[in-house]
Amino acid sequence: MIRISQMKLPVGHTREQLEKKIAKILKNPGCSFSYEIKKQSLDCRHKNDKIFVYTVDVKIRDEQKIARKVNNNNVMVTKEKVYQFPTPGDIPLLHLPVIIGSGPAGIFCGWYLARAGYRPLILERGEEADKRQKTVENFWKNGVLDPDSNVQFGEGGAGTFSDGKLNTLVKDPYGRNHEVLKRFVEAGAPNEILYQQKPHLGTDVLIGIVQKMRQDIEDMGGHFRFRSKVTDLHFTNGSLTEIEINGQEKIPAQVCVLAVGHSARDTFEMLHRRGVFMEPKSFAVGLRIEHPQSMINEDLYGEAENELLGAASYKVTHKCANGRGVYSFCMCPGGYVVNASSEPGKLAVNGMSYQARDSRNANSAMIVTVSPEDFPEKGPLGGVSFQRELERKAWELGEGKIPVQLFGDFCKNQPSVSLEEITPCMKGEYTLANVRSILPETVGNSIEEGVHSFGKRISGFDRNDALLSGVESRTSSPVRIVRDSDLLSNIEGIYPCGEGAGYAGGITSAAMDGIKIAEAISKKYRNF
């Protein structure tokens, strides 16, 4: 096929114009062709002349001859790389492989193992996606927290209640990234995610997708058990032998995938007691910031609204005078700040968008990197203690409600007593407070400096009535469960996987790591 890159068209172009552009670049070859869009990105540097930039693959006769005739550095002959799942290994599996967790890592590991005939058993402490949605909405409305089924736990994982971003910076020579996007499309996602520069799936779409993938896994011989919390693991001579569920039932196991998610603190504690090697990991903490979406659109697009482009997004970073990095994270255009708590007496926030991204506010996390040197306790679980202390302060400050502060008051380190032009778009109750009092001094100072710096790049970003809420403490896992070159922990049969194990950061990278673990299991063990 022929790959054409750097192909530019106005934002409002038609399909016919795209096809004419391809023909023109190929110097009107005079024969029919088909094409597939591989990448679409938006160039807004000239706000009065916004353009889409495409990479397309064209299938056509005599491709070598046409490419030589065109003689253009942006036109080349290429071969399509086809993803290959490994053939089964030689070691017999005596028991079904067990996957702990049904977030992206667990679901994708399960899907590929099921397709290869391994009939995996997926254990999930929370509820099925539709039941979980009702439980979460009841929490937001009435404050009734279910510690095992909430924004963090349940079918689909923490990413289900997020902006659903699907872009990743993970290098992908094996084609796993495209596999993830293909699986999503086959489960009901729009085809555009295959090529958009910043693809996303809103919470309303993700819920249906994870249910469809569960059905696929079950149709291929896999099994799911919900409300099945893994409370212990049993080893003999350094190898896994049993898994304990809900503190009472024990099942035999030879292979176990730890796709537990970044908030499975009780599981981390259990693994630490059992001698599974772990180490503390740097992550980031901070607050959510809200602005009018129309303000972000105006700055980035040059207009308050553009139906063709949707809600604008941003990404900003700053190196502070104190040496800390502060940056935006999980930016949610047209989104909501949500109460993402999972433990009683502790409060954490996150950002979420629906597919339409049509709320009046944009929000993102303003976060600052912290390292094991900042943690109050040493050892593998020091970061967990650090998170819990911040969340305890946030819960106490808001008495269970999300504490909110205007940026102008944040800079003065004083409680806010009234809102101005911006009103919160939130899931869960909120109350005005001095959010800065939650944070370590160095984190608060870094956020103040960072927001002022971002105001020089995005007009109005540091306006006094921008809303800050907190605490954003679950940006990534505070631990890394150590694994070797075969992707095994120090216990034979235990495969740490995904974001909770410290090997991913977001939906797509977690799903890719799930595929990677499925490959490792297949290379070693025979299927049933």
pLDDT at residue 425, rounded to an integer: 98
Helix (H) or strand (E) holding 20: helix 15-25
Structure-model confidence comparison of residues 167 and 391, the more confident one: 391
pLDDT at residue 511, rounded to an integer: 97
Average pLDDT over residues 331-343: 97
**8 A C-beta contact, residue 438 and residue 413:** no
One-character DSSP codes across 140-166: HHH----TTSSSSSSTT-GGGGS--B-
Structure tokens that stand for 31 in this block: 């024969």
Rg for the chain, CA atoms, rounded = 24
Helix, strand and coil in the chain, % to nearest 5? 30, 25, 45
Average pLDDT over residues 376-400: 97
pLDDT at residue 80, rounded to an integer: 82
Question: What average pLDDT does the structure give for the chain?
Answer: 95
**8 A C-beta contact, residue 503 and residue 265:** no
pLDDT at residue 308, rounded to an integer: 87
pLDDT at residue 170, rounded to an integer: 81
CA triplet 396, 398, 401: central angle to 5 degrees?
120
* Neighbouring C-beta atoms of residue 518, cutoff 10 Å: 28
Quick check: helix, strand or coil at residue 69?
helix
Q: Does residue 334 come out as left (phi exceeding 0), alpha (psi in the -120 to 50 range) or beta?
A: left
Please write the tens of the pLDDT for every residue from 406-428.
999 999 999 999 999 999 999 99
Average pLDDT over residues 205-223: 96
Closest CA to 349 of 414, 290, 416, 293: 290
Least confident of 303-312, 445-454, 517-526: 303-312
Please write the tens of the pLDDT for every residue from 233-242.
999 999 999 9
pLDDT at residue 30, rounded to an integer: 79
Q: Report domain extents, the chain.
A: 2-77, 98-279+477-524, 282-472
What would you measure as the largest C-alpha separation in the chain, in angstroms? 72
User: Does pLDDT of 339 surpass 90?
Assistant: yes
pLDDT at residue 467, rounded to an integer: 98
Residue 240 pairs with which residues in a beta bridge? 235
Distances (CA, A) of 180 to 99, 111, 330, 505: 18, 11, 20, 15
pLDDT at residue 414, rounded to an integer: 98
Please write the tens of the pLDDT for every residue from 469-516.
999 999 999 999 999 999 999 999 999 999 999 999 999 999 999 999
User: Does pLDDT of 393 surpass 90?
Assistant: yes
CATH number of 98-279+477-524: 3.50.50.60
Please write the tens of the pLDDT for every residue from 242-268.
999 999 999 999 999 999 999 999 999
User: Does pLDDT of 388 surpass 90?
Assistant: yes
User: Does pLDDT of 70 surpass 90?
Assistant: no
Structure tokens that stand for 34 in this block: 């088909």
pLDDT at residue 164, rounded to an integer: 87
Fold of 2-77: Alpha-Beta Plaits (3.30.70)
One-character DSSP codes across 235-279: EETTEEEEEEETTTEEEE-S-EEE---TT-HHHHHHHHHTT--EE
Q: What is the rounded (10 degree) CA torsion for 15, 19, 25, 27?
A: -150
pLDDT at residue 168, rounded to an integer: 84
Alpha helices in 187-235 (DSSP H): 203-219
pLDDT at residue 213, rounded to an integer: 97
pLDDT at residue 171, rounded to an integer: 81
- Residue holding tokens 């509820």? 127
User: Does pLDDT of 169 surpass 90?
Assistant: no
User: Does pLDDT of 188 surpass 90?
Assistant: yes
pLDDT at residue 140, rounded to an integer: 97
> How many angstroms separate the CA atoms of 87 and 163, rounded?
36
> How many angstroms separate the CA atoms of 160 and 92, rounded?
35
Please write the tens of the pLDDT for every residue from 121-167.
999 999 999 999 999 999 999 999 999 999 999 999 999 998 888 98
- The segment with the largest mean pLDDT, out of 74-83, 200-209, 420-429, is 420-429
- The reply to whether 98-279+477-524 shares the fold of 2-77 is no
pLDDT at residue 437, rounded to an integer: 98
Least confident of 71-85, 89-103, 114-128: 71-85
Please write the tens of the pLDDT for every residue from 19-38.
999 999 999 887 899 999 99
pLDDT at residue 368, rounded to an integer: 97
Quick check: helix, strand or coil at residue 430?
strand
User: Does pLDDT of 81 surpass 90?
Assistant: no
Can you give the pTM of this predicted structure? 0.95
Half-sphere exposure of 359 (CA within 13 A, CB side): 24
